[in-house]
Structure formats: C-alpha cells, structure tokens
Structure 1
Amino acid sequence: MKYAEKITDRQVGRNAELFARAIARKETPEARYPYLRILISVIEQAHPEWNQAPKKDKQIAHLIVQMSQDTLDFDEVAEVVRVRDEERGYFYD
C-alpha cells in the first residue's frame, strides 16, 4: 500500500500514525483519553531515551500532534502524558 506522505517517526511507525489520526476523530476528550494513553505507551516503548527527558510531556505531545496532522490539541495530549507519569511517581514542576 502506498501513502502520499512520509512517516513522521519511523521508530513509532505508520500504524501509530494512523491510530493518532483515528483518535483525533473522537468527539470528546473523555472519548480520546484511553486511546491517547495507549498511543503514549507505544511511543514510550519506541523512544525509551525520552523517559528521563525533562520535557518528556512536551516531546511526546509534539510528536502525537504531528502524527495526527495537527488535529489533536497539544495541551490535551501533554496533560495525558503528565497524568500517566504522575501515576508512576514522576511529577512535573
């Protein structure tokens, strides 16, 4: 199958990119939340070096917004990243 555009991040892959676009079609933040958590987990596995990055929430949010072709809200995605990290004991300033 051919695609008109290049993959945003080869480590994450085309399927994750298509998943990000599908998430963006969900109506409400509540509907998007569980799917964003899954996508964030996929990105964390593809980029383990980001786990210790001081601006990890912004890095991952930026990548997801790019993957969704700017259809997802940056702040919404960054907040989901922060919530996941806080559940695991990592807190942001």
Structure 2
Amino acid sequence: MGVKWEDIPKKYKPHWSTWKIEGTPFEETQKKLNAKNLHDPWLRNEVWIYSIPKHYSSFVKVFTRGMIPGFALFLGLLGIKRYNGSETQHH
C-alpha cells in the first residue's frame, strides 16, 4: 500500500532544515502572516513543491510517456488481426 517513511533509508530522507521559504511564493504569504502577528509552522513542509525541476513535471512529457511503445503494439496487433482475419470469410 505504498512506502512507509520508516522504510526509506536515512540517506534519502532530507533534513528539515534543507527546506527554505526564501525565494518561493510562500515568502510573501509568510510576510503577510507576520504582519498580522500570525505564524504557520507547517508552511515549510510545502516548499518541496518548488524544488522539483520543471522538466520532470512537464504535462507533455507525462501525457506522451509510453505513446511510442503503445503505438507500436497497436500496429503489431492490427497486423496480427488482419493476417488472421483474412483467412475467415464473413457474409
């Protein structure tokens, strides 16, 4: 049912101090909260979203993943169907 946090080796777990709010859109949110004497201690937990390289989250890349093997499989199965279907006569 998925990977548990305990199952991940320690060397792959980022330390909490690696996520910085500075330089992200959350920095403006933090300034607005501080102006109202409020603080969101969990805001840092959402900063990882902005550390993902943009080329990995490309919609086109996700949409076209597997398109070439799928099309090749489609053509192969279509050829097999036509080869086997040519022997049978339909009225």
Q: Give TM-score, length-normalised by structure 2.
A: 0.23
Greater C-alpha Rg? 2
Bigger RCO (CA 8 Å, 6+ sep)? 1
TM-score by length of 1: 0.23
